[in-house]
């Protein structure tokens, strides 16, 4: 693997809990979205990349360097953690300029860069306010400012849009695209596929600490769309409805989930939804509700994590 970030069978345990479980993926140049539900292992991977955790097994490199360690290569990396307490007693400007000095910039250079980075994230008006007075969105912005202020080659953004208002989301997304266009490599994590779709077509999907899909978003979308689709129906005569539905060739299985409920698994949701109204009318069925049980992202992850079964 020769990506910007390469992970080979990386495992990280927290006692009995597995944070990452043999995670293997290669993150190419440009923007890559790391998508997964909460608790999938995204933040664990970021902390490993940021040198805050040591992998129990496997190999993890960024920019060709082992992730565990505080070598000089870290000046080429910017990290925006999801949960990190800021130095609340400092102003936003002091915060960014102090961290720039830890990066090795002189005081004047640190001040100049801090001012520019804060302007970049749209916080200039609040730069001299103490950060304890910042809103969640402002805190996200100031974290992003400290992350990009030293002009790093690789930028790690852990849920950067979390807590940011819709206008701010659009602005920060545009900023990420601009950063990519100017030669920076970004890894952006999110539990919302839609957010990442707007940024990049390169994604790594993670669930249960493992990379369950990687590559072009459209291919993964096709995979998701071709999976059996689950539909819950409510009717006073579930057995009668099941008998009729069972004749359709795209139905994979029918399960009775209650006295008046059944769950149908279909390979072709489009055909199912197109044919169901006609069936209801011609057979004079009383179908009280139709509910797609797996439209949410969690179900997609469950499906992919289950090996496409």
Partner 1 sequence: MSIAAPRYGATSAVRLGRGHRTLAIVGRELRRRAGLGTWLVVALTYLAVTLIITINTEFASLIGQLSLSTFETPYASPAWPFLMLIVATSVGAGSLAEDVGNRSITLYLSRPIRRIDYLAAKTAATGSWIVIAAVGPGLAGLAIVLALGWAPASLVLTGAGAFVAVGLLASIFFTGLALALSSLTTRSLYAGVGIFGVVLSLEIGAPIVSGLTGNTTVAYASPITDILSVAQSAFGISGPYATDPLTSAVILAFAGVFLAIFAGWRISRVEVVGE
User: Which residues of the chain form contacts with partner 1 (CB under 8 A)?
Assistant: 14, 43-44, 47, 50-54, 70-75, 77, 79, 81-87, 89, 98-99, 101-106, 109, 113, 116-117, 120-122, 146, 148-149, 151, 171-172, 174-175, 178-179, 181-182
- Closest to partner 1 by CB, 46 vs 303, is 46
- Closest to partner 1 by CB, 154 vs 224, is 154
The distance of closest approach from Cβ of residue 146 to partner 1 in the complex, given in angstroms and rounded to an integer, is: 7
The distance of closest approach from Cβ of residue 267 to partner 1 in the complex, given in angstroms and rounded to an integer, is: 39
The distance of closest approach from Cβ of residue 308 to partner 1 in the complex, given in angstroms and rounded to an integer, is: 30
Could you tell me how many helices (H) and strands (E) the chain has, helices first?
Answer: 10, 14
The distance of closest approach from Cβ of residue 228 to partner 1 in the complex, given in angstroms and rounded to an integer, is: 35
Contact present, 212 and 305 (Cβ < 8 Å): yes
- Closest to partner 1 by CB, 53 vs 224, is 53
Question: What is the dihedral angle through the alpha carbons of 27, 28, 29, 33, rounded to the nearest 10 degrees?
Answer: -50
- Closest to partner 1 by CB, 49 vs 220, is 49
Contact present, 95 and 87 (Cβ < 8 Å): yes
The distance of closest approach from Cβ of residue 24 to partner 1 in the complex, given in angstroms and rounded to an integer, is: 22
- Closest to partner 1 by CB, 66 vs 215, is 66
Contact present, 230 and 191 (Cβ < 8 Å): no
For residue 205, what are the CA distances in angstroms to 13, 49, 185, 224, 297? 20, 17, 18, 12, 11
């Amino acid at each position: 693997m020769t990506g910007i970030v390469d992970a080979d069978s990386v495992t990280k345990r927290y006692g009995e809990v597995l944070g990452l479980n043999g995670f293997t993926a290669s993150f190419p140049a440009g923007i890559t979205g790391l998508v997964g539900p909460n608790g999938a292992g995204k933040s664990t991977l970021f902390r490993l990349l940021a040198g805050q955790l040591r992998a129990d097994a496997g190999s993890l490199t960024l920019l060709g360097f082992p992730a565990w360690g505080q070598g000089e290569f870290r000046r080429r990396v910017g990290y925006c953690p999801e949960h990190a307490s800021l130095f609340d007693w400092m102003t936003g400007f002091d915060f960014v300029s102090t961290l720039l000095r830890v990066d090795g910039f002189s005081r004047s250079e640190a001040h100049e860069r801090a001012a520019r980075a804060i302007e970049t994230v749209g916080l200039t008006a609040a730069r001299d306010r103490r950060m304890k007075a910042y809103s969640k969105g402002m805190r996200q912005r100031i974290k992003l400012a400290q992350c990009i202020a030293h002009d790093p080659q690789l930028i790690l953004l852990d849920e950067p849009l979390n807590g940011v208002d819709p206008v701010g989301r659009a602005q920060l997304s545009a900023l990420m695209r601009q950063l990519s266009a100017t030669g920076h490599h970004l890894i952006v994590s999110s539990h919302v596929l839609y957010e990442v779709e707007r940024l990049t077509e390169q994604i790594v999907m993670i669930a249960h600490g493992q990379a369950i899909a990687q590559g072009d978003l459209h291919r993964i979308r096709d995979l998701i769309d071709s999976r059996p689709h689950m539909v819950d129906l409510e009717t006073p005569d579930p057995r009668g409805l099941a008998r009729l539905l069972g004749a359709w060739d795209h139905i994979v299985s029918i399960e009775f989930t209650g006295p008046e409920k059944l769950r149908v698994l279909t390979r072709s949701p489009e055909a199912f939804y197109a044919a169901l109204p006609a069936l209801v009318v011609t057979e004079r069925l009383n179908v009280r509700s139709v509910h797609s049980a797996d439209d949410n992202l969690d179900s997609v992850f469950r499906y992919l994590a289950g090996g496409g079964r």
